[in-house]
Chain A
């Protein structure tokens, strides 16, 4: 691939604004705020369950408030981490093909983790 030393600014000048990007920044900050609160909740939860038997651990997670806290944490956390990893990929992976593949895998990973966690919490809450 030919080396291109034109600055990104040179390539995009006069093409108009991207009309997006601020939403990425804002959502990263918004989920960062909620994560800071929910991290305290996670630490409390893990510390409370550490070493507990299955029945009491299950009862705690099945509690509606604990379950909702976990669901909030999963939602907020996976959105935040997907945005963060997207920034890292865009910083370091410059070839279009590998970059698109990495960005797709990043989204798939975030959704997979979120779904596995949400399904487990729902099963613990609603399941017999």
Chain B
């Protein structure tokens, strides 16, 4: 990698301001959420691996893990995971719209941003209604 010339005295150059100087806008918040939900899904794959491994290991251990997931804290985590998955999925679909070069005017950006949070909450509700019915 090319290194800067150390012989010359370094003068501190101004840096552009970061997130904290901006008023939060919905598209900015959704962008941050997209990254955070991505990390949550990343960590959450441990749950899928654990659950599949438990299923493969036999009835006794599967019953134990199944009870853990079925307990109140387990259900809360799974509910959160459902919302995170739906939010990241809709966020991704929103990015596909932008990848085509459309939807960059402010009104559409706002609509897509609000749509992804309302949509993710709605889908989570529908999934849990159908699953626990």
Contact = CB atoms under 8 A, between A and B. Distances in A.
Given A6-B4, A35-B89, A88-B39, A47 B52 contact: no
**Residue among B12, B46, B70, B89 with the highest chain A CB neighbour number at 10 A:** B89
A47 B56 contact: no
A81 B41 contact: yes
B62 interface: yes
A5 B8 CA distance: 13
Contact of B55 (A32, A58, A85): A58
Contacts of B69: 50
B59 interface: yes
Interface residues on chain B, size class: 35 or more
**Residue among B2, B6, B58, B78 with the highest chain A CB neighbour number at 10 A:** B2
A3 interface: yes
A117 B63 CA distance: 18
Given A43-B85, A57-B62, 5 more contacts: A15-B2, A35-B92, A51-B66, A116-B53, A120-B49
Nearest to A15: B2
Contacts of B105: none
Contacts of B53: 116, 120
A57 to B, nearest CB: 6
Contacts of B23: none
8 contacts: A36-B89, A42-B85, A43-B85, A46-B131, A61-B52, A113-B46, A117-B48, A120-B49
A29 B95 CA distance: 9
B89 A117 contact: no
B55 A54 contact: yes
A123 B57 CA distance: 9
Interface string B35-75: 10011011001101100110110110011001001100000
A81 B45 contact: yes
Contact of B52 (A3, A6, A77, A116): A116
